[in-house]
């Protein structure tokens, strides 16, 4: 089967195409599907393997069912990687030895390709006495710096940097510092952050009451709940984090509340898990199931949806038995509860095919109907698997009284009552950034379409670039069927034209039909007033959501560039700007312990026509002549980047990811993995004081805003959705 566009083919080749020393590269994507089908069928009885493998292959063929990237890349490869995407680590003990043991466990998990989430609420707050050593505690954020530095050194399964979620309860005494942490553009770059918000806090907020900050049963501070909430909303407005997890609601709705307590979330928020909890993911591509798109009678084939659901449940259940696990505790947890996360992608495109605008009443009704089919058939399939293979080891009939099961039709409940369930939790809606690109650039997860078209620059072997248009699957289908007729604007809505209420309406209806949670980002325009933004999290709570993140372009993250006029679908790369006669700037001093002399970093700024300051040049100087060659090289290369473009945050990020195998150093209470990383920290600090201006992107959107510069391929194609930065050019993905 030919790919729907060249980008999909390139992503397959770069990320998922298996190359073995003996057989070479898989010739076609169908060979990838065959590898996955045969590998996952190995969990079946020998006499069934061939038949089940063929069933799996038919589901995978044509990108109708999309296992998560770990499964696509790793199943049947023989590599020492996990096929699970999501892990929450164990409860972190409040002692130094235990903390660093958990750092090691997280490193092992990241190294094998899993993303990890941690709750740091168990670590004593800043200034608390440490008995026996006559010292004061440095607090959970200082240890999060250690995790962050560790994560920068780990390349997950040789594919991408590790992804982490850091959580802190809203009653922890260090919660105010946690809320403000991402205001520092150099800190926690490998973390997503979420505040664990309790029901008691939301009640205090509604009553305009006080809120105690407590550790180990002792009240250390009392704040006004409304003030703390305002601080949280201001932080996410200014810096896009932290998100929120309504932790009491999560535990109250959990199918397995009778045998576990949810601790934290995986990096993107769709899986709230207990200690050492693990979940594997897969998505049904709704965009491929709509018959007669754009016609008055367009409809999703619900019989096909039901069959794919049953097949998806069986395939994911088998993955539990064929996957490796980084830690034995994770294997034991996964096999005791057999949790899976079956979800969807292409929802927005499927709605467009059916003439329903995302966020509208008809879209809500269709989403409820389609997800209702998935829920019913997933539970039916799991009960039938329990009859065939046995229920999950910790199955208890009281699960039938859990909220997610009370709404099932009686025939399904009777089947569960008679046979049990093979899986403790079944549904979840994950981010599908790269796999949605693989499937022809369908809309990802339950998100709206971010941009219907944009221009991608492809670097050629001779150093030149060629431009290549990339279109959303729905727009490409419209053009194929309707030619040059303009698409209806009232249906082809995007993330930039929707109000926050439209996002929340869709998330809320989906949450009522999903066991676990949903990876969802409410994208807001840069010019949204704080008064229109400040109630997003509160409204989400009232609507029944379990958690939420937002994204508004801002000076701290600087990720989204301005929209170019549609007529300017591509622009030439800007030439180096001439140096003005006089520039103003600042000089920073780095005392690097391994160097006999300090390093001085000077950054000079220029002011554009709109009065925005931006960095123009950098000088790195030291009396230590061992540094001369590489510091001169940095000076020239970084200055050239500064003079060519205004979007330079990636420079700081890339430098901060450099680690020295001989060891880093602690600077101002934070571990820095190398001297270049320290220089990157200076650049990030300087950028925080003189924010980069908004500039026209080299790769612009014909409809929708231009994305940011990708740190992997350099294309202006990086967008934020579902809690992840995803490059639409090369498929690079970073959650954190």
Any idea which residues carry the catalytic annotation? Answer: 266, 268, 270
Instruction: Provide φ and ψ at 424, rounded to 5°.
Output: -70, -35
Q: Cα–Cα distance between 683 and 674 in angstroms, integer?
A: 14
| Alpha carbons 172 and 178: distance in angstroms, whole number | 10
CA distance 30 to 33: 5
- How far is residue 114's CA from residue 181's CA, in Å, rounded to a whole number? 24
Please state, in angstroms and rounded to a whole number, the distance separating the CA atoms of residues 621 and 619. 6
Strand, coil or helix: what is 139?
coil
- Neighbour count for residue 575 (Cβ, 10 Å): 8
Q: What is the DSSP string of 391-433?
A: --TT--GGGGGSHHHHTS-HHHHHHHHHH--S-S--B-B---H
What number of other Cβ atoms are within 10 A of residue 596's Cβ?
9
Give the max Cα distance, the chain.
83
Cα 446 to the chain's mean position, in Å?
Answer: 13
Residue 166 main-chain phi, psi, to 5 deg: -110, 125
**Nearest residue to 261 via CA among 329, 333, 321:** 333
Our CA dihedral for 326, 327, 332, 335, rounded to 10 degrees, sits at -10
- H-run or E-run covering 164: strand 164-169
Cα(329)–Cα(297) distance, integer angstroms: 51
Q: What is the CB neighbour count within 10 angstroms for residue 301?
A: 13
Run of H or E including 666: strand 665-667
Residue 589 token pair: 């001093």
Contacts of 490 (CB under 8 A, 6+ apart): 357
SS3 592: coil
CA distance 492 to 717: 20
Bridge partners for 605 per DSSP:
584, 615
**Interacting residues of 55 by C-beta distance below 8 A, sequence separation 6+:** 311, 314
Q: Return the closest-CA partner of residue 426 out of 408, 447, 410.
A: 408
d(CA 275, CA 89): 6
DSSP-derived secondary structure letter, 485: S
Three-state secondary-structure class, residue 567: coil
Tokens 């220029």 found at: 606
SS3 per-residue string spanning 525-566: CCCCCHHHHCCHHHHHHHCCCCEEEEECCCCCCCCCCCCCCC
- CA–CA separation, 518 and 720 (whole Å): 16
């Amino acid at each position: 089967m030919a790919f729907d566009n060249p980008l999909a083919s390139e992503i397959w080749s770069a990320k998922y195409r298996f190359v073995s020393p003996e057989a070479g590269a898989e010739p076609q994507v169908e060979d990838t599907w065959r590898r996955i089908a045969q590998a996952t069928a190995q969990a079946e009885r020998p006499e069934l393997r061939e038949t089940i493998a063929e069933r799996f292959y038919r589901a995978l063929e044509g990108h109708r069912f999309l296992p998560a990237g770990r499964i696509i890349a790793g199943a049947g490869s023989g590599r020492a990687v996990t096929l699970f995407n999501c892990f929450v680590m164990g409860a972190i003990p409040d002692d130094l030895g235990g903390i660093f043991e958990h750092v090691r466990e997280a490193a092992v998990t990241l190294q094998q390709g899993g993303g990890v989430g941690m709750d740091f609420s168990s670590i004593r707050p800043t200034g608390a006495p440490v008995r026996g050593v006559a010292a004061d505690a440095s607090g959970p954020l200082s240890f999060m710096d250690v995790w962050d530095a560790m994560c920068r050194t780990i390349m997950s399964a040789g594919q991408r940097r590790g992804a982490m979620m850091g959580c802190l309860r809203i009653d922890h005494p260090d919660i105010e510092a946690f809320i403000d942490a991402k205001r520092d553009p150099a800190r926690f770059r490998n973390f997503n952050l979420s505040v664990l918000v309790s029901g008691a806090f939301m009640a205090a907020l509604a009553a305009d009451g006080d809120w105690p900050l407590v550790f180990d049963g002792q009240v250390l501070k009392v704040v006004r709940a409304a003030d703390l909430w305002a601080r949280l909303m201001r932080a996410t407005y200014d810096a896009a984090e932290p998100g929120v997890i309504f932790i009491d609601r999560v535990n109250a709705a959990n199918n397995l509340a009778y045998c576990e307590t949810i601790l934290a979330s995986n990096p993107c928020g769709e899986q709230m898990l207990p200690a050492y909890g693990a979940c594997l993911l897969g998505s049904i591509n709704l965009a491929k199931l709509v018959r007669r798109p754009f016609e008055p009678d367009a409809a999703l084939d619900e019989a096909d949806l039901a069959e794919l659901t049953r097949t998806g449940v069986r395939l994911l259940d088998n993955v539990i038995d064929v996957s490796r696990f980084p830690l034995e505790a994770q294997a034991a947890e996964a096999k005791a509860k057999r949790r899976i996360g079956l979800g969807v992608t292409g929802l927005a495109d499927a709605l467009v095919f059916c003439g329903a605008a995302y966020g509208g009443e008809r879209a809500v009704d269709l989403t409820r109907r389609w997800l209702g089919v998935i829920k019913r058939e997933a539970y039916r399939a799991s009960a039938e698997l329990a009859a065939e293979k046995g229920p999950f080891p910790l199955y208890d009939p009281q699960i039938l009284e859990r909220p997610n099961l009370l709404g099932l039709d009686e025939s399904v409940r009777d089947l569960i009552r008679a046979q049990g369930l093979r899986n403790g939790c079944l549904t979840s809606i994950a981010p599908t950034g790269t796999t949605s690109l693989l499937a022809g650039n369908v809309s990802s997860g339950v998100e709206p379409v971010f941009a219907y078209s944009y221009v991608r620059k492809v670097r050629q072997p001779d150093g030149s670039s060629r431009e290549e248009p990339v279109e959303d699957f729905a727009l490409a289908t419209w053009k194929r069927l309707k030619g040059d007729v303009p698409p209806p604007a009232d249906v082809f809505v995007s993330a930039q034209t929707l109000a926050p209420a439209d996002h929340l309406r869709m998330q809320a209806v989906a949450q009522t039909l999903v066991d676990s949670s949903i990876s969802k980002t409410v994208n807001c325009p840069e010019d949204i007033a704080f008064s229109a933004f400040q109630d997003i999290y509160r409204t989400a709570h009232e609507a029944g959501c379990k958690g939420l993140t937002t994204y508004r372009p801002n000076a701290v993250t600087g990720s989204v560039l301005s929209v170019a006029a549609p007529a300017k679908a591509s622009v030439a790369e800007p030439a180096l700007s001439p140096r003005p006669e006089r520039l103003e700037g600042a000089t920073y001093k780095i005392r690097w312990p391994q160097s006999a002399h300090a390093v001085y970093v000077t950054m000079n700024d220029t002011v554009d026509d709109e009065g925005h300051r931006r960095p123009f040049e950098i000088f790195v100087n030291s009396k230590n002549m061992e540094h001369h060659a590489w510091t001169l090289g940095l000076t020239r290369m970084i200055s050239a980047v500064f003079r060519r473009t205004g979007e330079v945050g990636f420079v700081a990020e890339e430098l901060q990811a450099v680690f020295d195998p001989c060891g880093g150093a602690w600077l101002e209470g934070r571990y820095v993995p190398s001297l270049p990383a320290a220089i990157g920290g200076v650049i990030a600090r300087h950028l925080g004081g003189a924010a980069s201006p908004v500039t026209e992107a080299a790769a612009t959107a014909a409809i929708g805003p231009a994305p940011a510069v990708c740190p992997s391929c350099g294309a202006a194609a990086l967008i934020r959705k579902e809690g992840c930065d995803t490059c639409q050019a090369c498929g690079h993905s970073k959650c954190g």
